[in-house]
Structure 1
Amino acid sequence: MADIEREAMEYDVVIVGAGPAGLSAAIRLKQLDAELNVVVLEKGSEVGAHILSGAVLDPCGLDALIPDWKQKGAPLNVPVKEDNFYMLGEAGKIRVPNWPMPPLMSNHGNYIVSMGNVCRWMAEQAEEMGVEIFPGMSCSELVYGDAGEVKGVVAGEFGKNADGTPGPSYEPGMELHGKYVFLSEGVRGSLAKEVIAKYDLSKGHCPQKFGLGMKEIWEVDPAKHREGTVTHTMGWPLGSNAGGGSFIYHLENNQVYVGFVVHLNYENPYLFPYMEFQRFKHHPIVADLLEGGKRVAYGARAISEGGWQSMPKMVAPGVALLGCSVGMVNVPRIKGNHNAMLSGKAAAEAAFEALQSGRSADELSAYETEVRSGAIGSDLKKVRNVKPMWSKWGLLPSLALGGMDMWTNTLGFSLFGTLRHGKSDAAATGEAANFKPIDYPKPDGKISFDRLTNVSFSFTNHAEDQPCHLQLKDASIPLKVNLPKYAEPAQRYCPAGVYEIVEEAGKDPRFVINFQNCVHCKTCDIKDPSQNINWATPQGGDGPNYPNM
């Protein structure tokens, strides 16, 4: 399709992704110079449609960006009032006291929020300042300049046939050129992945590590609702099978966020993260809360967990990676939105300085310096060893040693230095012959649900006549390699039921991709043991339509 002629539009800065990082960058650019031409391109049907996060928000990023956010009506309405942490057994629990935890683990001063609604509000602030925001505009390609710099993106291509050829209503889209391009696509963004590979930005850094976060919104019995209560758990049901844990956040209007995170470096290919989540909800402390309630939404998203060691170089000629495109989640705090906002602010300031001095399309080294040496770097360096400790030594030793390491890091040193991550999450997958299948209870339809029923509560939709955006590099690998060697784990690791092995009497097994179900979590791109699946963006507006995730 490279020979297609497209119209081009010129901007000072082109931003891909209307999440907290991209919107922060847009707002800051306009604060610095109201005359700058700034555009934000969002693949979701509206701003917030593809935003899924816990979320307990540390407002430090918002404080730095929009100090008067309260007066401007930001939807931070539920301050954290109570902070609980439990170790779970199958039927019981042990409360972990708050006092031994380092101060950085406290949620005092934080807010339970819908990040989708926070982003919608941020988009309003940006548009009032003159930022152009175009939802429903997938960015399908990068545009490179003559010197190999990133020059822009292709956005708004619609109407391809399933085989990739132009259909009768084909629209080629436009090229949007910027003096700088910011990629704020979230975890494992398709364009960021291309940039990281093209410019070898991960060289010298640990592989990125990931988790799969799944979340439901429940309306519960008002008598059981405790607005402002935050609960985290570890232990059952994952046990030694995988790292991870849960969150339960009581927001307003008798609603509760119930979420579950599974670290994707698990070995057993029979592990079924979605079913671990459903089983978790039958623990007495969760089941008692949810009984008589109603689930109103479901979604899933990968989480970057590598932290300080795994952050790649963030800049290349003409382009900067923001927020989760780099991986700025503080894993023990389960927070990254504040760092995403700070990264957008820092990138905007570096671009403004460059444009003021007449530069363009170079590397914004000042942005990288600020991230690594400023507030973001300080936040992530203090907790850099928690995740590798967990991976190497298991849950209980990592709790003790990680807590001690966080305490010493607040004093400016670590007894462990900087521990490195091991192999990638895909390479961590073990062979099926070395593991036993896991027997999961059947969902009861009241507290736990089958996958496809729950996916309907993500309100995801994809035009069926477009090319499949889940691309196999080799179509034979699922059946010839992954099925005999790994029991084809795509059937289980996908939280939306996209992949299945269909076996019919008298016929060879078939590997089926139900891409219409995809909630854009990116787990397949991360966890496939053969690294045979490439997640590419579908046409704009397709995917989940989260109401207030």
Structure 2
Amino acid sequence: MQRDVMEYDVVIVGAGPAGLSAAIRLKQLAAAASAEISVCVLEKGAQVGAHLLSGAVLDPIALNELLPDWRERGAPLDTPVMHDQFLLLDEDAAYPVPHALLPPMMRNDGNYIISLTRFGQWLAEQAEALGVEIYPGFPAAALLFDEHDVVQGVQVADAGVGKDGKPTSGYAPGIEIRARYTLIGEGARGSLTRVLEQRLGLRPVPQKYGLGIKELWRVPAAQHRAGSVTHALGWPLGQRAGGGLFVYHMAPDLVSIGLVTHLDYANPSLSPFEEFQRAKTHPAIRKMLEGGERIGYGARAISEGGWQSLPQLAFAGGVLMGCAAGMVNVPRIKGNHNAMKSGMLAAESAFAALQSGRQHDVLADYPTAVHASWIGAELRQVRNIKPALSRFGLIAGTLYAGAEMWLQHFRVSPPWTLRHSKPDFATLRPQASLQVERYARPDGVLTFDKASSLQLSNTWHEANQPVHLMLLQPERAITLNLQVYGAPETHYCPAGVYETVQRDGAAALQINAQNCLHCKTCDIKDPSQNIVWQTPEGGGGPNYIDL
């Protein structure tokens, strides 16, 4: 098939903090050197920010380096953190940890509560003002390799393909974007990143993940405290799964609340969505939301493996940036600042190569720069925290984490590095060996079901297109997932994509792909890695507003 071809010096996949920071930095460097560099950013969402989801509390360290005059430029950092608390929860009570006992790394002094959606849109405006070409609704569906496995660019997804896999009257073949360097910033468990890791062997140590589920509420003024940040551990997850709750009060009357569930849990009937609904019923949390209105919902996987799980960052023709590589600092519950810095470092490496006339080679100075930067220093400091929580459980793991972070504060670094024992999909145990989790019916006021939640995500997909969630061996959905594990995909999916139904008197798995939030949890947690998330037609998926 003949495809149209566009050529750029650099193509960037993903209009998130990493990708947009890389684009801005490339243009800044070009302007300073009076050079011409063509930069293209591809974004699978219908608009920039549509698929961006995070807590989020932003450490402005990278933004200060990238755009020091961000205040004058009107950056949407409207809510500085004014009050910071950390709670330990049991079913009925909340026990605040004195602020003085919190390791300094976990404090939020000087940080800002933001909407990542709005922040991404603002970054895109800064990039476009510098001459960056940004194409929303153009998902990068495949990598372009030469005969030596050197990346030459990407292919945009075809449009107008029917459910039967055949072209419709609206068919348009996806164009090829060829570039001298390809920078991948597509977020956690990206589809291109997965191909790169498998084909080129980039990640010898498995990545670890969490699932973040978030709601946005508008609350009465009497309950709102702009700039208040609350993090909590314990109930409802307890010892059954790692993770924790966050509640951020954004100006003027919005509350961002969510639960992160580590995906290395064992019980296949555990539902992160239901655990989040349960968390809101805690007396300390309920009082923050009572009388309010839920106005937004979303979910996204989070890369949590940290330092030990970083892949080979550079390959022939490109690099991995931000959450595609896995640069989240788990105890800080932050990754956007690291993503931005990684994008800036990738841009500097690519610019130097372009200026010297190179192309399609390995940008070997990029991983060196990442490791030598404050990204490397920060991730090395907390390298043992996630594996400690996984190994030792909530109480012992939290005590270990606190002790080590205090030691790191006083520049005492333990000589050991704890390893991640297994990938998240391998931690599930057969359902017969465990008690089935039971959850209360939602009340429609404080707690909700998946269907009503999905409506608030503004999710839409073209109806007549192939299912973008592929089963490598369809029969395993019944013989393994259902019969051994009790259909875990029907529990961990936060959007009701997977459903066990009866067809011709036999159990079958129904995939409601139109519901997909692109969170990637199924691609991560399926026990035999039988589910592969692929890029749907451009512009499909959620359309987050202020999340």
Alignment map for 1:288-307 (pairs within 5 Å): 288-307=287-306
Match of 1:433 in 2: 432
TM-score (norm 2): 0.98
CA–CA distance in 2 between the matches of 1:419 and 1:164? 46
2:181 alignment partner in structure 1:
180
CA contact (8 A) 1:308 1:380 kept: yes
2:212 corresponds to 1:213: yes
3-state secondary structure, aligned to 2:527 = coil
Per-residue CA deviation, residues 141-170 of structure 1 (Å, 9 max, x unaligned), is 111124321001111520111132222221
* 2:276 maps to 1:282: no
Q: Deviations over 1:163-205 (max 9, x none)?
A: 32222221002101110001100000001111111110112xx
1:72: which partner in 2? 73
Decide whether the 8 Å contact of 2:183 with 2:319 is kept in 1. Answer: yes
Give the letter for the 2:182 counterpart.
V
- The answer to whether 1:28 aligns with 2:29 is no
Question: Could you say which residue in structure 1 is the equivalent of 2:236?
Answer: 237
Please say if residues 156 and 171 of structure 1, whose CA atoms lie closer than 8 Å, have aligned partners that are also in contact: no
Task: Please state if 1:321 is matched with 2:323.
Answer: no
Distance 2:406 2:87 in 1: 20
Contact kept? 1:218, 1:294, Cα under 8 Å = yes
In the TM superposition, what is the alpha-carbon distance from 1:280 to its structure 2 partner?
0.6
Question: Matches of 1:304 and 1:413 in 2, distance apart?
Answer: 26
Q: What CA distance in whole angstroms lies between the structure 2 residues aligned with 1:289 and 1:368?
A: 43
Q: Does 1:93 pair with 2:90? A: no
Deviations 1:117-140 (A, max 9, x none): 111000000000000000000111
Q: Give the drift of 1:19.
A: 0.1
What's the secondary structure of 2:456's corresponding residue?
helix
Partner secondary structure for residue 99 of structure 2: coil
Residue equivalent to 1:224: 223
Taking the TM superposition and a 5 Å limit, the aligned residue runs for 1:418-497 are 418-497=417-496
* Residue 392 of structure 2: aligned partner: 393
Q: Tell me if the contact between 1:460 and 1:543 (Cα under 8 Å) persists in the aligned partners.
A: yes
> d(CA) in 2 for partners of 1:354 and 1:50?
31
For the Cα contact (< 8 Å) 1:307–1:384, is it kept in 2?
yes
CA deviation map 1:247-283 (0-9, x unaligned)? 0000012100011111000001110110000011111
Q: Deviations over 1:223-266 (max 9, x none)?
A: 10000000001100111110111000000121000111110000
The counterpart of 1:532, out of the listed 524, 530, 533, is 530
2:163: which partner in 1?
162
Q: Please give the alpha-carbon distance, in whole angstroms, between the structure 1 residues aligned to 2:508 and 2:270.
A: 21
Which amino acid in 1 is paired with 2:167? P
Contact 1:281 1:448 in 2 (8 A): yes
Within a 5 Å distance, the mapping from 1:364-403 to structure 2 comes to 364-403=363-402
Secondary structure of the structure 1 residue equivalent to 2:101: coil
Task: State the match for 1:258 in structure 2.
Answer: 257
CA RMSD of aligned residues (A): 1.0
Q: Which residue number in structure 2 is paired with residue 16 of structure 1?
A: 13
Distance 2:409 2:151 in 1: 39
**SS state of the match for residue 378, structure 2?**
helix
Q: Can you list the C-alpha shifts for 1:497-526, whole angstroms capped at 9, x where unaligned? A: 00010137x711121000000000000000
Q: Does 1:547 align with 2:537?
A: no
Contact 2:144/2:152 (<8 A) preserved: yes
Aligned residue type for 1:193 = R
What is the distance in 2 between the residues matched to 1:280 and 1:330?
23
Aligned counterpart, 1:510: 508
Instruction: Assess if the C-alpha contact under 8 Å between 2:185 and 2:322 holds in 1.
Output: yes
**What residue is the counterpart of 2:351 in the other structure?**
352
Counterparts of 2:414 and 2:51, CA distance in 1: 40
Identity rate, percent: 52
Q: Secondary structure at the match of 2:545?
A: coil
Instruction: Show structure 2 runs of 5+ residues with no match.
Output: none
Quote the offset at 1:408 in angstroms.
2.1
Question: Does the 8 A contact of 2:157 with 2:535 survive in 1?
Answer: no
State the TM-score, normalized to the length of structure 1.
Answer: 0.98
Contact 1:138/1:157, CA 8 A, preserved across alignment: no
Alignment-mate amino acid for residue 395 of structure 2: L
Residue 29 of structure 1 and its aligned partner are, at CA, apart by: 0.1
Letter in 1 for 2:335: G
**Paired residues for 1:23-172 under 5 Å:** 23-34=20-31, 35-172=36-173
SS in 2 for 1:509: strand
- Opposite residue 125 of structure 1, the aligned amino acid is Q
- 1 CA distance for matches of 2:125 and 2:93? 46
Inter-partner Cα distance in structure 1 for 2:126 and 2:176: 26
Distance between the aligned counterparts of 1:476 and 1:67, measured in 2?
55
SS of residue matched to 2:295? strand
The SS at the match of 2:179 is strand
CA distance in 1, matches of 2:224, 2:529: 43
- How far the C-alpha of 1:26 sits from its partner, in A, is 0.2
Instruction: Write the distance in 2 (CA, Å) between the matches of 1:109 and 1:253.
Output: 19
